[in-house]
Amino acid sequence: MKILITTDLYTTATNGVVTSVRNLYEELTEKGHDVRILTLSEGKESYKINHVYFIKSASIGFIYPDVRMPLSYRSGLIQELIDWKPDVVHSQCEFFSFQFAQRIAKLTGAPIVHTYHTLYEQYVNYVLPGKYLGRQVVRQLSRMRLKKVAKVIAPTSKVEDTLRGYGVKADICVVPSGISLEQHHHRMSEEERAKKRQELGIPANNNVLLNLGRLGTEKNLGELLAFFAEALRYDSHLTFMIVGDGPDKENLEKQAKDLGISEQVIFTGMVNPEEVQNYYQLADVFVNASTSETQGLTYIEAAANGLPLLCRKDPCLNDVIQDGINGYEYTCCEEFEEYLKDILMNVEWRKTASEQSEKIAESFGKEHFVESVENIYEEVAV
């Protein structure tokens, strides 16, 4: 089968969209499909590298980091893809590359499958003043974009419910995005772990809380810093490691300083994606306060590395956290503190929770994800 994947993001960032696209490309290619990717370049030139087509673009990073827009919707590379005649077009983004997907699908007769990765209501404050206006724009855009697609893929039932609330009438399938579990099966030795923690300035007898991902206001990291400051009042042997970068980093560093906890908080910045499992394994518990996730692949990665999870309650966690089994979902500071105490004081429970987390993560392997998507392609391409 000839499969074209269109995406605004491919090399400019490491996030859920990029991970999903790369997993799809690798697994579908391995299965013998002819897969090509159409995305935006990082400069004002269009070019092709193997089966990846890059269309010239310009940065509009003033809206949000890594966001780019195409400088043209006409290109010899686009014509090449039209002449190639894909059997199905799989769109991954609702904005710029969706226009390419629509045009190619119209001229070739290929059906469009679209994965709705992002709940934009959490991001409109970067672009539009006023939450109400932003929500109306998001809902209208979503209805318009999805009106003519053959099938919509939602990573979780949370996304499906949101789209139905927007008035989207399209056929929706819930297919959780998968991760490459093999990478997260590799374990550091105790010696390597101790050495790496020492290099980062983590005291040997400290328990480490970890958050990993983009540092944006929608991730609600300010809440975690405030709750962590409260936790330090009853347990001074704690370190909070924040892995990643983003537009809110400077504000978060200032907040840590204002709270007087800068010595206990480590901002590592971006890390090599091939080494990300090592950072999970340096920690004792994964924490997250975001309610903007459609699925949250970092939750699954944390579980795959055997971490108990302590996260703000959210529907996207329904299949990831089993309360009291491999972690807890909190709704307020008091619950956060209570659950954190339980996790850190009960060493035997942590061992069991670690095993349960790894077991839960197994169901999110990329092989199962790609098989489900492949079945959808076959259904719509008939």
Q: CA 82 to CA 110: how far, in whole Å?
A: 10
What CATH topology corresponds to 181-364? Rossmann fold (3.40.50)
Q: Above 70 in pLDDT, residue 11? A: yes
Calculate the average pLDDT of the chain: 91
b/e 161-187 (16+ beta carbons within 10 angstroms → b): ebbeebebebebbebbbbbbbeebeee
Query: 367: part of which helix (H) or strand (E)?
Result: helix 366-380
- pLDDT-derived band at 64 (thresholds 50, 70, 90) equals low
Neighbouring residues of 258: CB distance < 8 A, sequence distance ≥ 6: none
156: β partners: none
pLDDT at site 123: 54
Helix (H, G, I), strand (E, B) or coil at 170: coil
Q: What is the pLDDT of residue 124?
A: 52
Q: Which residue ranges make up each domain of the chain?
A: 2-178+365-380, 181-364
**pLDDT of res. 141:** 82
CB neighbours (10 Å) of residue 339? Answer: 20
290 in Cβ contact with 279 (< 8 Å): no
What integer pLDDT is reported at residue 295 of this predicted model? Answer: 76
Instruction: Give the separation between CA 248 and CA 188, rounded to whole angstroms.
Output: 31
- The confidence score (pLDDT) of residue 136 equals 79
Q: Is the pLDDT reported for residue 61 higher than 70?
A: no
Find the Cα–Cα–Cα–Cα dihedral 365, 368, 369, 375, rounded to 10°: 170
Per-residue model confidence (pLDDT) at position 63: 59
Spatial separation of the C-alpha atoms in residues 19 and 10, rounded to whole Å: 9
Q: In a 3-state reduction of DSSP, which class is residue 145?
A: helix
Residue pair 297/16 in contact (Cβ under 8 Å)? The answer is yes
Give the three-class secondary structure for 141.
helix
Task: For residue 146, give the amino acid letter.
Answer: L
Please name the residue ranges forming H helices in 6-95: 16-30, 76-84
pLDDT of residue 148: 85
Q: What percent of the chain has pLDDT over 90?
A: 72
User: Residue 122: its pLDDT value, please?
Assistant: 58
pLDDT greater at residue 250 or residue 318: 250
The whole-number pLDDT of residue 375 equals 96
CA distance 323 to 133: 37
Per-residue pLDDT tens over the stretch 183-231:
999 999 999 999 999 999 999 999 999 999 989 888 999 999 999 999 9
> Other CB atoms closer than 10 Å to residue 273's CB: what's the count?
12
- Asked if residue 128 has pLDDT above 70, the reply is no
- Which pLDDT tens digit goes with each residue over 260-300? 999 999 999 999 988 999 999 999 999 999 988 877 889 99
Whether the per-residue pLDDT at 135 is higher than 60: the answer is yes
Centroid of chain to Cα 87: 28
Looking at residues 101-107, what average pLDDT do you find? 95
Look at residue 126 in the predicted model and tell me its pLDDT.
47
Please give the Cα distance from 130 to 199 (Å, whole number): 44
Euclidean distance between CA atoms 322 and 337, whole angstroms: 18
Burial-class residue 272 by CB neighbours within 10 Å (0-12, 13-18, 19+).
Answer: exposed
Q: Does domain 2-178+365-380 have CATH number 3.40.50.2000?
A: yes
- What percentage of residues in the chain have a pLDDT greater than 70? 93
Q: Each residue of 295-335: pLDDT tens digit?
A: 788 999 999 999 999 999 999 898 899 999 999 999 999 99
DSSP state at residue 319: T
Two tokens at 297? 């692949």
Question: Range with the lowest mean pLDDT among 141-145, 151-155, 326-330?
Answer: 141-145
**What's the pLDDT at 14?**
59
Q: pLDDT confidence of 74, banded at 50, 70, 90?
A: confident
Whether residue 372 is predicted with pLDDT greater than 90 in this model: the reply is yes
Tokens of 367: 């092989």
